[in-house]
Amino acid sequence: SEPVTLAELKAHLHIDGEDDDTMLTGLLAAARGALEGVTGRCFVETKLTAYFDTWPLVGTYVGACQSREIELPKAPLLAVEVEGEDDPVSVESIKYLDEDGVEQPLDPDTYSVEPGISVNWFGRIRLKPDASIPTLGDFPGALRVTFYAGYGAAAAVPEEIKTAIKLLAGHLHTNPVPIN
C-alpha cells in the first residue's frame, strides 16, 4: 500500500470527483518511488534481495582487502515476524555461490545485524571475529542478502515523508511532462 491514500492526495489538491483517480494513483506511486530512490529508503515494509558479485572490499583501490561487513542498500532496516523464526528478523538470509556454483547459506551465528544508529543510516551485517569470510565463486550476484526495510505499515511512515509525497505528486499533476 502507498503511504499516502488517494483521498489524502485529493484533499491536498482540492480535487473532487473521480475523473482523475487513475492518474492521481499513478502520480502517488511515481512520487513515492522517486523519493525512495533519492533518499535510499523504503517507506512501507518491503522485502528486498541485495546482490553482490564479490564479498565487499575496504576501499576501491586495487589490492583492497576484504571487509568484514556488508552495508545494505536500503534503510531503515525493519524487524518483522518470519515463519519459522522465534524472534523478529531484519535479515532473512544470506546465501552465496561457492566456487563450484553451489548455493550455500551463511550461518546466522557467524554474523550480527546492526540496523544503523538512526533511520537515516544504512544497516550493516558484520561478521563475528571468529567467523571466516566465505569463498565466493566468480559468478554475477554470487552473494545474496534477503532483508526487510521500511517503517512498517503505511500508517507508520513519518508525516514529513507523506507531505513530500503529496507535494511531489501535486507538482507532477500541476506541471505534467509533455511526451513527444
pLDDT beyond 90 at 59: no
Q: Please tell me the pTM assigned to this model.
A: 0.86
CB 166 within 8 A of CB 9: yes
Q: Mind listing the pLDDT tens digit for each residue in 10-32?
A: 999 999 999 999 999 999 999 99
CB 69 within 8 A of CB 91: no
CB 154 within 8 A of CB 44: yes
- The enclosing H or E element of 87 equals none
| Cα–Cα distance measured from residue 25 to residue 2, given in angstroms and rounded to the nearest whole number | 9
Write out the E strands in 3-73: 46-52, 69-71
Between 8-22, 112-126, 136-150, the lowest mean confidence (pLDDT) is in 112-126
Torsion angle in degrees (nearest 10) through CA of 54, 55, 59, 60: 0
Write out the E strands in 98-179: 103-105, 111-114, 124-127, 143-149
What pLDDT is attached to residue 65? 84
